[in-house]
Structure 1
């Protein structure tokens, strides 16, 4: 599809039939928003509130929420928006919307204008978080750079991990697997496997490393169970990560769509896709969601606090809990056990503390009174204790926003300083609960964390994580061993089948090339050439017998290796992988957490002083 959009002279985007509101919005963009000289005076014009409302309704059209439309804009040389008979060039639309969003971020003047319209205002800012909507992300250059290459197309800017974790909620997908597959074409670090066959013939393995493509092949297989696709994606992201101190951050990011209970094509219940492992965070845990407000108006609304881990492509991280502890990929392993209804990841780390007390989670960004009691802040007229945050470090996730005190929370939104502070508080504590550890530390954790849960550090993860321990039942080890043996056998069978199919394709290709060569030779007028010579040339014996060819030994070795794996009956880990424990507990992943005083490598120093051992956690 990317080639179709790239080769098109113009990509026509159909937004739907026109309406009085859409006509007003398109005209508003052309005549007022794109006029930079008059832009600052727009709010003074009569009727601007109606035009803003019409524009918001235009941005809520279905096209802006479809996941597959991203590549329409990314790869288009030229694009136009069509709403009924009204037409607008994409560059005009993008410029107008970006100016509008920049002005709204700076002054919030447009939101204040719409508050006078009680017929559609529900008490919240109409433009708040609109930059997180589909239209906002498309026009702000989040997906691609705003310049074009010599070929005329706009180059993808982000990797697949960044795109999947950033665009999960904003863009819809009826098939949950498309939360990954629909973005492969616009990522700068992957290439969908089905498209590899159509690559230019210049891409050969004997090219110099500097000439090799910098994109990795990513297999597309809709027949795979959805949990296995999610596991493959996380394994891919960890393997592709260029920062060993942040490679495991992907397990802290919400991105996975809810699994379907029914197959879209057959309507049958998809039992294999009914569950996801706890280390695959669902998209319902993202910071924002799209809600329907008054008059069926959709709006991007905050539902959770911001993630503690930085975006995958960020130059700097907010925290470095594992400090300089290098992530050892050889200590990482994955186990597929679909018949036992769980998928496991084996991660090395250590326990540095346990949760002793928890308080209610923050609702609507409010700070519960119990939080102050837990922190020992009994006299609210005095500044909060240092552990609670002399500069509100616990409440604000350790990010200082300025010298503020509790009195600033009791004010109105006309004060921009108070407004920004409250937004920062909401982005830090919403739906998180205050915890106190056995060693007296305060922190913020998921609303699912309870007393007795473990606080751990994983090398390769920039923030602490919370785990819950479970004991295996009698007979679980034997069942897991049988399942692992079955999965190994299936893997050997699959590799053998793929090798046979590959050999057949190569044989057919060679036969076709031989026939083409024969036909080419017949067209040449070579003196002395006759059928006898032709037959003698075509039947010439090879320089080496099959057994002497270089690739023959590797094929035999590979077949012998497959037979060896097929005959194994014991549960042995792959070479270079961490040994999976056959006895002991397993864990559920409860998400990231903030522990005051433990976010910048202090836990690793404490591990050395207290001689805390590393261990391998099986997380399901």
Structure 2
């Protein structure tokens, strides 16, 4: 039988009764499997060959073994479709794949010749952790060396057809006002770039490293560069028109345009090529922690891949311990522990505990006797909540602010935004203890405790607009009722966390802007809302006074899902919305901001331990003042080793 002849093999094994069994790779550290997609008609059964090939030999000897790669989203589909696998000219069994992958293969199949592909779901034995531990680290090289990357976005729709026409009209968009496009065109384009592949964490590595990229949507294709051109035009018009109230309201889903996943994928592909200089993907300018922060809301189908999907791109990969490698035998919290410890050791900071990076649903766990997470009970508090990312999909899949910005600021910001721990860095006591369910031990100071708390400033996905009158209640709590007077210094500074945008010094006009915002609701974020629009978390501030608008924008960045608190010692601050009275305000050595910790007691051993509630802003102790008080003998501040579970 000639496997290259279309139609000769398509009738073989239409109802095979046995499954394909992988033959182990002789050298899983350097060899990969190559899928040969045999020719056939669109509706015919799919027949493929599967054989090993060497990446090392191709690199060492400059062999030109051409193949293409396919990237698609596994999503939550069950493998209900099948393909026939042939090895050495003989049928070797049936492999079941997802309907999405099957549809992609039908579109890629040629009528007259074999097409050689690399597809992770087929070319890596997903049930063999030993093989995955060696094959996943090779994926970066696989994408670099592929002649072409095809991205399967799924089946077409009326929206996708309209979006592809929109993308193809870039010259037309430039020639006239983009806003003159029909609203349905904009909706269709937004829907197209909101497809699941664009927010999948494995897509980051594929798009960053691939040579040439083509997006496939059913029977339609578009080049990646064409999409990027359209994205650039859209971003330019949105920036230019951001003060046009009418247009902005019409296209409100574009509000946080730079955080939309497609824009971030375009950014990393551009940055990787800027570093290489010659158009090839050779390096990434970002550390692993920065990658985790930038793609904090990108999803995976396996929790360990929260980290593994970005590991190969990190510029600081060589600085990490050899222990921190791909290991699918490890339980998820153990993988997270290796990541956290690596960041602490490389950068000498505990700020990694405060930054959002984990999109996956909470993974309850407890090591069973064999070390696997069979008995699931809880998630350690030293992992960030999976809902803590700053921006995410809200109504109609638009991207909007979900939470306030992290007080610690982004990694690699050039400087710390705050310095609550002064000159004291992470101590040698910092460690994980897996005899105690992965407890994290750190040293620091107990500085204060929460005595009073006000309603939290909710918004984002749960509620588009903050509670009616929430700032009125906050003002009453600090005794600022006479709006003819300027706001108390501690109050307005707390609202903005005593910083301007991006960790800058507070502008001189903030107190006056705070006063004006309180006096006249015409200066507030949104217009024509029936409820109190103190801060519409989904809208860009559009007050009549630019200074008030800038102040309100900063308040948005700081207060969302935080509550105003007063401590036992009378300090004003902002704490996570889950904080309670009597929670402790602590400063961990090596962490640039205070942390709210909750004392707990083990019900079995009666040992004391702590849970992290989250970072906080406490006015008056953000620049090392608490350490100076401790040195001066203030007995209200005590040093302690914290066991965090």
Instruction: Tell me the equivalent position of 1:407.
Output: 516
Q: Compare the two structures and name the one with the higher helix fraction.
A: 1
Please give the residue correspondences for 1:276-295 in structure 2 after superposition, counting only pairs within 5 Å. Answer: 276-291=379-394, 293=395
Instruction: Tell me the equivalent position of 1:615.
Output: 640
Q: Distance in 2 between matches of 1:109 and 1:53?
A: 20
Q: CA deviation at 1:287?
A: 1.8
Instruction: Tell me the equivalent position of 1:231.
Output: 337
Cα distance 1:133–1:281, how it changes in 2: closer, same or farther (>3 A)?
same
Instruction: Tell me the equivalent position of 1:255.
Output: 357
Instruction: Tell me the equivalent position of 1:32.
Output: 170
Q: Distance in 2 between matches of 1:305 and 1:587?
A: 24
Give SS of 1:610's match: coil
Q: Distance in 2 between matches of 1:262 and 1:332?
A: 22
Instruction: Tell me the equivalent position of 1:162.
Output: 290
Instruction: Tell me the equivalent position of 2:478.
Output: 375
Instruction: Tell me the equivalent position of 1:101.
Output: 235
Verify the 8 A CA contact 1:363 1:431 in the aligned structure 2.
yes
Give SS of 1:467's match: strand
Q: Distance in 1 between matches of 2:625 and 2:237?
A: 42
Instruction: Tell me the equivalent position of 2:559.
Output: 429
Q: How many residue pairs end up in the alignment? A: 459
Q: Distance in 2 between matches of 1:437 and 1:299?
A: 38
Q: Distance in 2 between matches of 1:383 and 1:464?
A: 28
Instruction: Tell me the equivalent position of 1:454.
Output: 584
Give SS of 2:191's match: helix
Verify the 8 A CA contact 1:464 1:593 in the aligned structure 2.
yes
Deviations 1:88-111 (A, max 9, x none): 322232233134224323532688
Q: Distance in 1 between matches of 2:481 and 2:545?
A: 29
Cα distance 1:151–1:424, how it changes in 2: closer, same or farther (>3 A)?
closer
Cα distance 1:381–1:75, how it changes in 2: closer, same or farther (>3 A)?
same
Q: Distance in 2 between matches of 1:250 and 1:178?
A: 18
Deviates more, 1:590-599 or 1:142-151: 142-151
Instruction: Tell me the equivalent position of 2:596.
Output: 466
Q: CA deviation at 1:602?
A: 1.7
Q: Distance in 2 between matches of 1:138 and 1:33?
A: 23
Cα distance 1:14–1:317, how it changes in 2: closer, same or farther (>3 A)?
same
RMSD: 2.8
Deviations 1:458-483 (A, max 9, x none): 22101011112234567456xxxxxx
Q: Distance in 2 between matches of 1:313 and 1:34?
A: 39
Deviations 1:286-338 (A, max 9, x none): 222223x3xxx31222222111012222212211111222332x12121113x
- Higher Rg: 1
Give SS of 2:228's match: helix
Q: Distance in 2 between matches of 1:156 and 1:216?
A: 19
Give SS of 2:420's match: coil
Q: CA deviation at 1:127?
A: 0.5
Give SS of 2:312's match: helix
Instruction: Tell me the equivalent position of 1:606.
Output: 629
Cα distance 1:607–1:471, how it changes in 2: closer, same or farther (>3 A)?
same
Instruction: Tell me the equivalent position of 1:588.
Output: 611
Verify the 8 A CA contact 2:199 2:261 in the aligned structure 1.
yes
Cα distance 1:31–1:177, how it changes in 2: closer, same or farther (>3 A)?
same
Q: CA deviation at 1:162?
A: 1.9
Instruction: Tell me the equivalent position of 2:280.
Output: 152
Instruction: Tell me the equivalent position of 1:336.
Output: 434
Instruction: Tell me the equivalent position of 1:194.
Output: none
Verify the 8 A CA contact 2:419 2:623 in the aligned structure 1.
yes
Instruction: Tell me the equivalent position of 1:550.
Output: none
Instruction: Tell me the equivalent position of 2:18.
Output: none
Instruction: Tell me the equivalent position of 2:65.
Output: none
Deviations 1:118-172 (A, max 9, x none): xxx7xxx110223222112112338843424458225222222222233232x22
Gap runs ≥5 in structure 2? 1-138, 367-371, 460-465, 500-505, 528-541
Q: Distance in 2 between matches of 1:141 and 1:48?
A: 30
Deviations 1:529-561 (A, max 9, x none): xxxxxxxxxxxxxxxxxxxxxxxxxxxxxxxxx
Instruction: Tell me the equivalent position of 1:14.
Output: 152
Give SS of 2:268's match: coil
Q: Distance in 1 between matches of 2:378 and 2:364?
A: 10
Instruction: Tell me the equivalent position of 1:534.
Output: none
Q: Distance in 1 between matches of 2:478 and 2:147?
A: 64
Q: Distance in 2 between matches of 1:162 and 1:446?
A: 23
Q: State yes or no: 1:219 paired with 2:325.
A: yes
Q: CA deviation at 1:12?
A: 1.8
Q: Distance in 2 between matches of 1:369 and 1:617?
A: 37
Verify the 8 A CA contact 2:576 2:614 in the aligned structure 1.
yes
Verify the 8 A CA contact 1:226 1:272 in the aligned structure 2.
no
Cα distance 1:351–1:594, how it changes in 2: closer, same or farther (>3 A)?
same
Verify the 8 A CA contact 1:260 1:270 in the aligned structure 2.
no
Gap runs ≥5 in structure 1? 191-212, 264-268, 478-584
Q: CA deviation at 1:250?
A: 1.0
Give SS of 1:325's match: coil
Instruction: Tell me the equivalent position of 2:70.
Output: none
Q: Distance in 1 between matches of 2:397 and 2:247?
A: 19
Please give the residue correspondences for 1:186-335 in structure 2 after superposition, counting only pairs within 5 Å. Answer: 186-190=313-317, 216-217=321-322, 218-241=324-347, 244=348, 247-256=349-358, 257-260=360-363, 270-291=373-394, 293=395, 297-328=396-427, 330-335=428-433
With structure 1 as the length reference, what TM-score do the two structures score?
0.68
- Of 44, 59, 65, which residue of structure 1 is paired with 2:199? 65
Instruction: Tell me the equivalent position of 1:174.
Output: 301
Q: CA deviation at 1:188?
A: 2.0
Q: State yes or no: 1:351 paired with 2:480.
A: no
Deviates more, 1:405-414 or 1:342-351: 405-414
Q: Distance in 1 between matches of 2:243 and 2:217?
A: 28
Instruction: Tell me the equivalent position of 2:16.
Output: none
Q: CA deviation at 1:350?
A: 1.0
Instruction: Tell me the equivalent position of 1:572.
Output: none
Deviates more, 1:64-73 or 1:252-261: 252-261
Give SS of 2:452's match: strand
